[in-house]
Amino acid sequence: MAERPDLEAPRLAPAAFEGMPVLVAGLGRSGRAACRALSSLGADIVAVDDNTGIDTSELAALGIRVHLGPGAIEELNGRRLVVVGPGLAERHPLIRAALSGGLPVWSEVELAARLATSPLVGVTGTNGKTTTTELAAAMLTASGLRAVAAGNVGLPLIEAVMAWPAPAAIVVELSSFQLRFTHKLHLGAGAWLNLAPDHLDWHPSLADYAEAKARIWANMTPDDWALYPDGDPDVADHAARAPGTPVPYSLRSPVRGAIGVEAGIALSRVTTEDQPLWRVAALRLPGKHNLANALAASGLALALGANPAGMARAVAAFRPSPHRLAEVGKVRGVSFVDDSKATNPHAASKALAAFRRVVWIAGGRNKGLSFDDLVEQARDRLAGAVLIGEAAEELAYALGKAEFEGPVVQAATMSEAVTAAFGLAEMGDTVLLAPACASQDMFTDYAERGDAFAAAVARLGGLPAPGVGGRESGRGQS
């Protein structure tokens, strides 16, 4: 009989999973990807999900036994490993039962990390992860390295890891949900972009949320880079305790060991030599926060061997992804900007700060967060507010509490919201969709919400309706 593999080992050979009894919990995109990968490795898989209405024909064709609905705890019997999807919080009865029974619980990212042969770098943070991940991958590709963006960005990490030939480098977007159940994940460089309250409907507390984020640096060596924003004291405190080498970045002239901006040039002083990287004026992403994200991406790319010429080409060619401060139209001098990805107050605050005068479309499903600071900071640049979804009353209350004196309108649909916002705008204003909330009260995900916004703008201006630009987004995890 083959020797049982050591599940504490940081790396496992594919053969280690042959015949291993594994339970995969949560059959969203990452859970299904884990099922496919484990099946190809010969694992004995039971897959479970609370949702009784999902299509399991693909899994059945792979010979995977599936349990849908409640009562799955009994399926833990005889399992050696639980791989959990990001939709299942630690408080879920199945996860609690697995942990109390001493079963290892891994995220799909952890499973992939145990099998990875390509070098990995990663990005986490409350906001800005996808932009940073995609830009870092573009910098590596433009430098001649076959790089892939994976993880929370869309492509499950396990699929990138199992690809043949293996990528030369993988940049991983990491949500707190994925990081919570990592144990041996090792990154050659990891960027933690920011920390603000979010997903307190998933994590027990803000401290637990931060500890999950900090796992991006947990298994570093002194040769690895822990990239962090100089000026965020909470993230900086975690960086100071990380086993990797702390590498701060900021919009100021960098000190030795840091990345920053000097005379309009992004500049690295991480090593003993100064490295000019790219011109700030070439970056087409609005807002200071996006400049900071680009500096973080530069650190990740440098850690895997990108060169300044390739990085400069990538910066000049890079454009915002759909639903991230993307202008979708202009009607009679009023610009319409889609930042549907701003699913929490911190992200919405950054979006609002990028424009001089805004009619703000906000609302949706609150994630247990306060809107008070957001409204206080944005009040002076608001020309009006149009509120939608479950949180409309909460946002209206916050605006009143902040003594906002401009017009506040509630709308029942996105089309109604766009029409109302246009009616409040003057020539030169920006109508900004930055909801500060999740989308699932009215839409499938943030992408569908952004597409509805763009379609309403097209109807308003008599333009052709834009194509659907979003990717499958899951929960919009962070």
- For the cut 50, the answer to whether the pLDDT of residue 469 exceeds it is no
- For the cut 60, the answer to whether the pLDDT of residue 338 exceeds it is yes
Q: Say yes or no: 149 and 221 in one domain.
A: yes
H/E segment holding residue 49: strand 44-49
Q: Are 220 and 242 in contact (CB under 8 A)?
A: yes
H/E segment holding residue 48: strand 44-49
pLDDT at 478: 53
pLDDT at 121: 98
pLDDT at 202: 61
CA distance 478 to 229: 17
Sheet containing strand 326-331, edge to edge, reads: 326-331, 334-338, 430-433, 358-363, 382-388, 408-410
CA distance 447 to 469: 8
Q: Are 87 and 158 in contact (CB under 8 A)?
A: no
pLDDT at 465: 52
Who has greater pLDDT, 128 or 111? 111
Q: Are 323 and 397 in contact (CB under 8 A)?
A: no
Q: pLDDT tens, 26-69?
A: 999 999 999 999 999 999 999 999 999 999 999 999 999 999 99
Token pair 């002194």 is found at: 222
pLDDT at 90: 84
Q: Is the previous residue joined to 165 through a cis bond, with omega within 30 degrees of 0?
A: yes
Q: What is the mean pLDDT of residues 224-240?
A: 95
Q: Say yes or no: 345 and 302 in one domain.
A: no
Q: Say yes or no: 236 and 286 in one domain.
A: yes
How many domains would you assign to the chain?
Answer: 3
Angle at CA 451, nearest 5°, toward 446 and 453? Answer: 95
- Looking at every residue in the chain, the average pLDDT score rounds to 91
Token readout for 240 is: 């100071």
Q: What is the mean pLDDT of residues 265-283?
A: 96
CA distance 317 to 311: 10
Domain-located, residue 13: no
330: confidence class by pLDDT, cuts 50, 70, 90: very high
What one-character-per-residue DSSP string does 308-374 give? HHHHHHHHHH--PPTTSSEEEEEETTEEEEE-TT--SHHHHHHHHHTSSSEEEEEESB--S---HHH
Q: What is the 3-state secondary structure (H, E, C) of 356-411?
A: CCEEEEEECECCCCCCHHHHHHHHHHEEEEEEECCCHHHHHHHHHHCCCCCCEEEC
Q: What is the CATH number of the domain that holds 431?
A: 3.90.190.20
Token pair 């891994």 is found at: 106
What residues make up the domain containing 77? 19-103
Domain-located, residue 12: no
Backbone CA torsion sign across 382, 386, 392, 397? positive
pLDDT at 200: 57
DSSP summary character for residue 8: T
pLDDT at 467: 47
Domain-located, residue 274: yes
Domain final residue, candidates 72, 103, 134:
103
Domain-located, residue 4: no
- For the cut 50, the answer to whether the pLDDT of residue 468 exceeds it is no
Q: Say yes or no: 388 and 242 in one domain.
A: no
Domain final residue, candidates 42, 76, 103:
103
DSSP summary character for residue 439: S
Between 107-121, 313-327, 400-414, the lowest mean confidence (pLDDT) is in: 313-327
Q: Which one, of 248, 279, 250, lies nearest residue 263 by Cα?
A: 279
Q: What is the mean pLDDT of residues 425-447?
A: 95
Q: pLDDT tens, 341-391?
A: 899 998 899 899 989 999 999 999 998 889 999 999 999 999 999 999 999
